[in-house]
Structure 1
Amino acid sequence: MAHVRTFNPRVLEGNWVEDLVLEEEALKDFILQKDRGELTVQKEGVLRQNILKPVSLAVSQDGFLHFGDTIMLVNSGGGEHDQRGTCVLSIIVDTSDIASRSQTNSVPHILGPLQVGGSHNVTPCVRNAFIITSVDGTSDGELLRYGQSFALRTTADFAGELFLSSDHRTFLKCAKKSRLQELSLVEEFDFKCWWKVNYFDPQERLENEGYPVQVNSKVLISHCKTNQCLAALGNHILWTLFGKEYELTAHTFLDSHKAEQDNNHWLFFTAHPANQNETLMQLQQDTVITDEQRENQEDTAG
């Protein structure tokens, strides 16, 4: 039976002093968390405001990738069974991954290790922008070549300059859905963060070794330690704060001809020289939409 109060609300009963003190302490704690910006609603606002902030991608004047370039890594989709759509390598983060002011005196930023996923948002932002970083002392501005080791690093400030890392899968450490080799973003840089670009066609791979990597061209991203390629999985879905996304892993998918499948095909996207606010993919999509609208208008007029 529910408790029924038999006294006037102004009548003090039971441990009323203790209840009053607890209410005052709860209010003080709430005000303190609010002043520090540690309330969940505040953290979520800070997260969305910063992680979706637009980023200017690098502009390649010669058509090749360079160390220090800010790029998006895009899988253009495909797949006979999973019908995978276009996705972009992106950070998966929630409010618990933000460093609070009580933890650090610096500006708010995210803490590793973090997951990554394949987002359908192709607009360049902090969440999906990565910097091609040297691992052997190569200077920024130098060409990235096929077979040359490099690292992928998130942008500075809020993104925390984390490195894309992977390692051999174990029973306790593997991708959540597929149970394949896990990808993560870590703060500490080591050999597990080394990657290299391979030419996508195995019959021409040796001939292209050492040549500069072209932007917006199909390539393979191979992990140096495990020799597994970066892959997008259309049949394994992750639920994030930003919606449904594909699981990404390090695993080489081969067809009957021992060639890598489109799960492993990636493109380094940079800004278009003619319109630096959009990537080449966005301009192509805009062109397709414009052509469709023009055909619809012609059909209507006819």
Structure 2
Amino acid sequence: MDAAWLNPEEWTCSEGVQEVLLESRKSSTRLTYLAKWTRFSRWASERGISPLRSSIEAVLDYLLHLRNQGLAYSSIRVHLAAISAFHLLIQGQMVFSHDMMVRFLKGLERLFPQDLLKDFLYKREKGELLIQKSKRLKNNLLKQMQLSVSKDGFVHFGDTVMLLSPENNKSPTENYPAACGNLTLAVNPDDITVHTSESLQVPCGLSAVKSVNPVGRNAFRILSVEGNSMGEPIRFGQNFGLGATGGFTDQMLYLASDHKSFMRFAKKSYLQQVFLTDELSYLTCWQATFLDPQLRLEYEGFPVPANTKVLITHCHTNRGLAVPRNYWIRSYFGKEYEVICHTYLDSHKAEEDKNYWIIVTANPSDDGITMFDRPKPPSEETREREKNELYAGT
């Protein structure tokens, strides 16, 4: 570990804590800061100044030196951030937040407003403005997605599907104040990410939304975690992963969960939380379980049917993916519902409908988008009645 990245107070922490503190900055940021700090150290050494213990006046002289060399205001701030990362505290303050430094930066803004305009035009041309990044993220999250078509009626590795929590059978009065209707599992980035990033950041949250149209937010890919070939049907009791791209082609996050702790739990229900991470591990393994507990063992190893109610269980914690429906959260996209990992059992020790899920695939015909939109075939009684009415009319 490089001592320059840690201040004296941080060096009193344990080695494990120091490693975590060092990872607070990305490797690319550390490389950039190191280059800027090397340049400042060279400038200070030429003038007989200690780079680590220089005065605030010396740092201001260096920044003014950079401005006289033609550096833009944004570049000067990067140099200042690098110096502040390495430099010792000055009068108990970091270099970046020192009172004199704040006044100096305000003065630069007023003396050289053309730098701000140049910086704005440059970022706009490169697509680096926050509003441009935010727009790209939202466009991808809401982009129309094409689900996979199941030719044999089963779910396969590599399929792009929706995970739908079907409408329960309770009456609105009994279900009050819970949400009625069908809900789909969806990516739910925090507001800061939506407004400042152009891609999904980890850890990323999830929620249940009322939209049943496949978009970047609620489309998931069935992944193999045990080396199974793509295209093979997944089976009851077999491990698989669930990946979310958020509409991006170069990014994949994985559905994960872990035991709740004092620091990690669902914000509304305080139960086991569900989140998205960027690496596959034992926390990202799931299994499909047959709905009827009396036939569960008999169906072990059979292919999982698509567009049919099943249970989705987290392998590590043995808890079911669930939507309680009475805990709603406020997101950038509006009112949505909390998704957790918890097995709800009724008086007969059978899972409740909060744990029911339908793995939805695409409709091969042109009549609808998904198989869930496809009209249900008439029952035997309905067909018999229509047949009798037809004969009676003739």
TM-score range, shorter chain: 0.7 to 0.9
**Is 1:245 the equivalent of 2:336?**
yes
Task: State the distance in 2 between where 1:253 and 1:76 align.
Answer: 15
- Following superposition, the deviation at residue 85 of structure 1 comes to 2.3
SS in 2 for 1:209: coil
1:49-71 superposed Cα distances (whole Å, 9 cap, x missing partner): 11111111111111011111110
SS in structure 1 of the partner of residue 296 of structure 2 = helix
**Other structure's SS at 1:272 match:** coil
Matched, 1:92 2:188: yes
Structure with the greater alpha carbon radius of gyration = 2
Alpha-carbon distance between aligned partners in 1 of 2:368 and 2:136, rounded to the nearest angstrom: 24
> Counterpart of 2:319 in 1: which secondary structure?
coil
Q: Does 1:192 align with 2:283?
A: yes
Give the match's secondary structure for 1:254.
Answer: coil
- 1:153 equivalent to 2:243? Answer yes
- Aligned position for 2:361: 270
Structure-2 residue corresponding to 1:38: 128
Q: Give the Å deviation of 1:25.
A: 4.3
Separation in 1 of the partners of 2:322 and 2:230?
Answer: 27
Distance verdict in 2 for CA 1:197–1:18, change over 3 Å? closer
Paired positions, count: 266
Alpha-carbon shift at residue 199 of structure 1 (Å): 0.5
State the match for 2:225 in structure 1. 135
> 2:373 — aligned with what?
282
2-side partners of 1:261 and 1:159: how far apart?
37
Question: Aligned partners of 1:63, 1:73: CA distance in 2, in Å?
Answer: 16
Match of 1:293 in 2: none
After the TM superposition, which of the residue ranges 192-201 and 20-29 deviates more from structure 2?
A: 20-29
| Inter-CA distance 112–277: structure 2 relative to 1 (3 Å threshold) | farther
2:100 match? none
Q: TM-score, normalised by structure 1?
A: 0.80
Tell me how far apart the structure 1 counterparts of residues 349 and 335 of structure 2 sit (CA, whole Å): 31
Match of 2:310 in 1: 219
Mapped partners of 2:249, 2:192: distance in 1: 14
The answer to whether the Cα contact below 8 Å between 1:99 and 1:111 also exists between their aligned partners in 2 is no
* Cα distance, 1:28–1:86 mapped onto 2, change above 3 Å: same
Cα distance between partner residues in 2 of 1:176 and 1:133: 28
Tell me the equivalent position of 1:116: 206
Amino acid at match of 2:313: S
Contact 1:199–1:205, Cα closer than 8 Å, also in 2: yes
AA partner of residue 118 (structure 1): A
Kindly state the Cα deviation for residue 200 of structure 1 after the two structures are TM-superposed.
1.0
SS class of match (1:157) = coil
Q: Which moved more, 1:31-40 or 1:217-226?
A: 31-40
Tell me, in whole angstroms, the C-alpha distance in 2 between the residues paired with 1:187 and 1:127: 16
Say whether the 8 Å CA contact 1:99–1:109 is kept in structure 2. no
TM-score normalized by structure 2? 0.62
Take 1:158 and 1:92, find their aligned partners in 2: how far apart are those partners? 18
TM-superposed deviation, 1:162: 0.4
Change (3 A) 1:50 1:19: closer
Residue number in structure 2 paired with 1:175: 266
Give the direction of change, closer, same or farther, for the CA distance of 1:94–1:171 in structure 2 (3 Å limit): closer
| Runs of 4+ deviating beyond 4 Å | 15-19, 98-101
Q: 1:70 is matched with which residue: 156, 160, 163?
A: 160
RMSD value over aligned CA atoms? 2.7
**Shift in Å at residue 84 of structure 1?**
3.2
**Code of the aligned partner of 2:140:** N
1:201 aligns with 2:292: yes
Q: How many angstroms apart in 1 are the aligned matches of 2:251 and 2:240?
A: 18
- For residues 229-266 of structure 1, the C-alpha deviation after alignment (integer angstroms, 9 at most, x for no partner) is 00012111111121111100000001111110000000
* Structure 1 gaps, min length 5: 1-14, 102-107, 288-302
How far has the Cα of 1:18 moved from its partner?
Answer: 5.9
| Distance change (3 Å), C-alpha of 1:171 and 1:152 | same
When residues 160 and 96 of structure 1 are mapped into structure 2, their CA distance, relative to the original with a 3 A threshold, is farther
More helix by share: 2
Greater fraction strand: 1
Query: What is aligned with 1:230?
Result: 321
* Distance in 1 separating the partners of 2:181 and 2:211: 11
